[in-house]
């Protein structure tokens, strides 16, 4: 019965609804292809109900659309900072960085592009100018989120006239109440003082929003008490970003240097922080939680103890409060030794000692491949049907591992259905980099159909930012 349903879907839907090539020429074509994807999704859902079960669902993606171009081949780096967001009207917003001359010198600045037609066409907000006119100072690595009132919030890091040392970066913030037509004045949310001779810096922020519309920002940085080892810092705003609490370290460990954190907000008000930090023989992923609004935090604990380097993770919560996590790790014996792979685990968030991470599983084994492939930079999301989606970069080049900086690769994606990861599909290859899933309006942010942005590097000075819709059908 299921096979007949799938065949029926492919016979009755126009070909463009299942198109995977992207040789598109006009905005009208973009629009109708995206509409086709939406119709295909509804048709697939109806047939799924008739057929019963998810066992024979297949993955597809819409034709990729160019959002913008940039000179930066890390414009959408790095996980899990979250670059793509959706408001209650279905409008899409992509945050990234590109070159712009505000005054005398061209520097990297933060931009947001917007789509009002499901991703078919895009335009840069703020009249094509950066979100914030900080001056001729470098701005990098934005993170975006949208609250329950459709206010758009963006954070990033950069220097400015007050904090102007070469790496005297502070965490900056703006918001928009009119769909990106205009943006608030920028501000440093919680300055960390004491910069001297490149000893301190703040970077890699991530923003989250809770059920009370409180804003949370987490980032990594050194401070006067931790001049050599970066700690995970956080701040909160209870008034929509008008003011911010002083920064605090999350369970500082002076012997460890922490990197690229993520913060998840549990259904009962819990706060979950994750980061990777130096451990035995390389980096390891650690996590901690707070049950009192961040006043106190538990000890940092390993997600997956072992002897292999772990970095670059992505995490999301489902409706039951389960944390889903993916990361890159040096592969075990089932893959080529020394080659990195993407691993997945989950945590049922109970109380205290009841919390145990599942055994890590390899998402896309490559045993038997003629050429070992390195898997980097995963991005993970949970859809409205509670399916877990994962995308990552795959390349034959070591890319400077373990501090990888890839310049070529393919973006692959997979979905977990009935506790099994489906065989991955390729959405873009050749020079595809840094995939990033969208998140809907906070605090839950779950979408019926996953939306994905990524890069394609065409030269040292030209990188395209791309977008597509992912879906399943019988």
Q: How confident is the model at residue 365, as a pLDDT? A: 84
**Is the pLDDT assigned to residue 104 strictly greater than 90?**
yes
* Weakest-pLDDT range from 36-40, 150-154, 370-374: 36-40
199: left (phi over 0), alpha (psi -120 to 50) or beta: alpha
Q: What is the 3-state secondary structure (H, E, C) of 66-126?
A: EEEEECCCCCCCCCCCCCEEECCCCCEEEEEEEEEECCCCEEEEEEEEEECCCCCCCEECH
Asked if pLDDT for residue 97 goes beyond 70, the answer is: yes
pLDDT at residue 390, as a whole number: 98
For residue 32, pLDDT beyond 80? no
Coil/strand/helix, residue 388: strand
If we measure between CA atoms, which residue out of 393, 436, 388 comes closest to residue 411?
393
Measured between alpha carbons, how far is 256 from 234 in angstroms, rounded to an integer? Answer: 17
pTM listed for this prediction? 0.88
Q: Once rounded to an integer, what is the mean pLDDT over residues 198-211?
A: 92
| Radius of gyration from C-alpha coordinates of the chain | 21
For 109-165, the pLDDT digits (tens) are 999 999 999 999 999 999 999 999 999 999 999 999 999 999 999 999 999 999 999
Domain-located, residue 284? yes
**What's residue 7's pLDDT?**
35
Angle at 150 between CA 321 and CA 249, to 5 degrees: 55
Query: Is residue 303 included in any domain, yes or no?
Result: yes
Q: Is residue 3 part of a domain?
A: no
Distance CA 172, CA 392 (A): 28
Please, what is the angle between helix 27-51 and helix 2-12, to 10°?
A: 160
Residue 415 lies in a domain: yes
Position 174 confidence tier, pLDDT thresholds 50, 70, 90? very high
| Structural domain total, the chain | 1
Tokens 């965490």 — which residue?
A: 171
**CA-CA distance, 111 to 267, in Å (whole number)?**
32
Output the domain CATH number for residue 219.
2.120.10.10
CA pair distance 317, 65, nearest whole angstrom: 28
Cα separation of the two ends of the chain: 10
pLDDT for 417-438, tens place per residue? 999 999 999 999 889 999 999 9
Whether residue 358 lies inside any domain: the answer is yes
- Cα separation, 144 vs 156, in Å, equals 9
Task: Map residue 304 onto helix, strand or coil.
Answer: coil
d(CA 63, CA 427): 9
Asked, for residue 49, whether it belongs to a domain, the answer is no
Does some domain include residue 161? Answer: yes
Domain that includes residue 218, residue range: 65-473
Residue at 177 is within a domain = yes
Residue 296 binned pLDDT confidence (cut-offs 50, 70, 90): very high
């Amino acid at each position: 019965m299921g096979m007949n349903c799938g065949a029926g879907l492919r016979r009755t839907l126009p070909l463009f609804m299942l198109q995977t090539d992207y040789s598109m020429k006009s905005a009208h074509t973009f629009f109708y292809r995206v509409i086709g994807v939406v119709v295909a999704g509804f048709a697939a859902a109806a047939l799924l109900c008739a057929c019963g079960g998810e066992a024979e669902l297949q993955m597809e993606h819409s034709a990729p659309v160019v959002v913008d171009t940039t000179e930066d081949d890390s414009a959408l780096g790095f996980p899990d900072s979250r670059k793509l967001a959706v408001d209650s009207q279905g409008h899409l917003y992509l945050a990234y960085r590109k070159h712009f001359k505000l005054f005398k010198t061209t520097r990297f600045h933060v931009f947001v592009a917007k789509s009002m037609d499901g991703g078919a066409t895009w335009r840069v907000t703020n009249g094509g100018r950066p979100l914030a006119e900080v001056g001729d100072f470098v701005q990098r690595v934005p993170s975006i989120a949208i609250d329950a009132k459709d206010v758009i919030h963006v954070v990033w890091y950069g220097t400015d006239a007050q904090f102007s040392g070469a790496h005297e970066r502070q965490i900056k913030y703006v918001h928009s109440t009119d769909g990106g037509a205009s943006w608030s004045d920028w501000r440093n949310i919680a300055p960390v003082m004491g910069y001297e001779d490149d000893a301190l810096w703040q970077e890699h922020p991530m923003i989250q929003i809770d059920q009370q519309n409180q804003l949370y920002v987490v980032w990594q940085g050194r401070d006067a008490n931790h001049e050599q080892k970066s700690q995970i810092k956080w701040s909160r705003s209870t008034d929509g970003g008008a003011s911010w609490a002083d920064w605090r370290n999350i369970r500082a460990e002076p012997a460890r240097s922490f990197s690229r954190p993520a913060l998840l907000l549990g259904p009962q008000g819990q706060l979950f922080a994750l980061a990777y930090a130096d451990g035995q023989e390389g980096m390891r992923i650690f996590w901690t939680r707070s049950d009192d609004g961040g006043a106190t935090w538990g000890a940092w604990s390993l997600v997956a103890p072992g002897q292999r380097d772990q970095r670059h993770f992505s995490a999301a919560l489902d409706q039951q409060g389960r944390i889903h996590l993916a990361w890159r790790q040096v592969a075990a014996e089932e893959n080529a030794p020394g080659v990195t792979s993407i691993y997945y685990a989950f945590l049922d968030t109970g109380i205290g000692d009841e919390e145990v991470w599942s055994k890590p599983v390899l998402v896309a084994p490559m045993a038997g491949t003629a050429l070992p492939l390195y898997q980097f930079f995963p991005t993970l999301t949970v859809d409205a049907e509670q399916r877990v989606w994962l995308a990552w970069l795959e390349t034959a080049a070591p890319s400077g591992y373990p501090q990888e900086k890839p310049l070529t690769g393919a973006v692959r994606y997979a979905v977990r259905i009935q506790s099994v990861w489906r065989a991955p599909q390729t959405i873009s290859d050749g020079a595809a980099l840094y995939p990033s899933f969208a998140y809907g309006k906070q605090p839950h942010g779950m979408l019926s159909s996953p939306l994905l942005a990524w890069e394609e590097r065409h030269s040292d000075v030209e990188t395209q930012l791309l977008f597509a819709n992912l879906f399943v059908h019988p």
